[in-house]
Amino acid sequence: MDHIEVVIVGAGVVGLAIAREVALSGKSALIIEKQNSFGMATSSRNSEVIHAGIYYPKDSLKAKYCVEGNRRLYAFAKDRGIPFKNFGKLIVACHANELEALEKIWLGANANGVSELERLSQNQVKALEPELRSVEAIYSGTTGIIDSHSLMLTLLGDFENAGGVISYRTQVQTARKSNQDGNWIITINSLDEPDQDFEISCDYLINAAGLGAVDLANSIEDINTKELPQAYFVKGNYFSLSGKTPFSHLIYPVPEQAGLGVHLTLDLNGRAKFGPDVEHIETRNEEAIDYAVDPGRVDHFETQIRQYWPTMPSGVLSPDYSGVRPKIKYDGKVFPDFYIQTAKEHHQRGLIQLFGFESPGLTASLAIAADICKLIE
């Protein structure tokens, strides 16, 4: 039986960052990924925003990793030539009744240690973005856009150059503890030969399977399923803008309950897109997700966008793409933070599980990886 020191399940941006950190530390490492390539789910279906760490509760993992990850990601992108652009972001109160919420965002962002923040008056916003409706705004100078594919390709390249191996179209059937040496025994098979299972052993098993993380956890023998979260999926749809955008910054309205609102982001060429919205979907099966964008959602998008861009012409939005957030609940209650489950919770040495790693996972990936690697002896 082949033995590898660390097996990472999932080749999204967080899994790749962890795997890279492990391989660079000198340990043998294998990534198991059931898709044809890396980053084919949540990591490639998002806004590609480098977040600043503004919205998350103080002392949450999202706040900690986003603020630290922001610094690490800009430095890494500059050092490695990964395309990015520091556009800056305006969080806009469109009406006076949103000023209280904007103040809470301001206080929370400062409590998290977010840098390069500025309060802007209506006239200051108008000077920056003449087409934007606002009564006041927060400017975030460390918000930008990164080429997520280039980032993941660089992470993978470092991993492989350090001796790491990735196996695509491979899935984990189950995992169990060996009675002899305490290693993990993982049963896997190839999607090209599904009837042929084989086993590998490892010292550490890292569950970074994203949308499939809870399902994978439930397949582990002797795991206490009562300690596991329940998965649910939330789809976010995007519409693109035809023609030139009048905006040079990312534009975010005051957040809504289930997300950050239908915001405007720019790609590296300055093309504008809007989203994501919040669409609750019934399926809990990753393979059954329908990523098609319903053109009928355009009316909702136009209504939301005209709150901050009242002069937007009609008929300029086209369905673009969608992504799905891997959210979790405990006892039916939404768990809003990242959750890293270790032996302290499940009493299984050598098992590290990552649940609910949605946004800002892209921004936070390098900071998360550094901490996960510290858990590996």
Length of the chain: 377
The CATH number of the domain holding residue 166 is: 3.50.50.60
Question: In the chain, how many domains are there?
Answer: 1
How much of the chain exceeds pLDDT 70, in percent?
Answer: 99
Say if residue 239's pLDDT is above 90.
Answer: yes
CA dihedral (92, 77, 210, 357) positive or negative = negative
What is the pTM assigned to this prediction?
0.96
pLDDT digits (tens, 9 = 90+) for 56-112: 999 999 999 999 999 999 999 999 999 999 999 999 999 999 999 999 999 999 999
The pLDDT value given to residue 256: 66
The pLDDT value given to residue 258: 53
Cβ partners under 8 Å of residue 358, min gap 6: 42, 325, 326, 327
Say if residue 260's pLDDT is above 80.
Answer: no
Strand, coil or helix: what is 353?
A: strand
Q: Is residue 175 part of a domain?
A: yes
The pLDDT value given to residue 261: 76
Q: Is residue 259 part of a domain?
A: no
Say if residue 257's pLDDT is above 60.
Answer: no
Bridge partners (DSSP) listed for residue 174: 187
What angle is formed at CA 8 by the lines to CA 70 and CA 361, rounded to 5 degrees?
Answer: 25
Q: Is residue 36 part of a domain?
A: yes
Q: What is the mean pLDDT of residues 186-213?
A: 94
Give the whole-angstrom CA distance, residue 340 versus residue 334: 16
pLDDT digits (tens, 9 = 90+) for 288-299: 999 999 999 999
Q: Is residue 326 part of a domain?
A: no
pLDDT digits (tens, 9 = 90+) for 297-331: 999 999 999 999 999 999 999 999 999 999 999 98
pLDDT digits (tens, 9 = 90+) for 139-163: 999 999 999 999 999 999 999 999 9
Q: What is the mean pLDDT of residues 127-142?
A: 97
For residue 239, give Cα distances in angstroms to 254, 269, 295, 301, 335: 19, 16, 9, 8, 28
The pLDDT value given to residue 255: 81
Which band of pLDDT confidence, cut at 50, 70 and 90, is reported for residue 35?
A: very high
The pLDDT value given to residue 302: 96
Q: What is the domain extent for residue 355?
A: 2-47+150-229+332-374
Nearest to 66 by CA among 365, 335, 372, 327: 365
pLDDT digits (tens, 9 = 90+) for 183-195: 999 999 999 988 8
Name the average pLDDT for the chain: 95
One-letter identity of residue 171: Q
Q: Between 331 and 367, where is the model more confident? A: 367
Cβ-in-10-Å burial (0-12, 13-18, 19+) of 377 comes to exposed
In the chain, count H helices and then E strands: 9, 21
Q: Is residue 11 part of a domain?
A: yes
Q: Is residue 197 part of a domain?
A: yes
Q: Is residue 83 part of a domain?
A: no
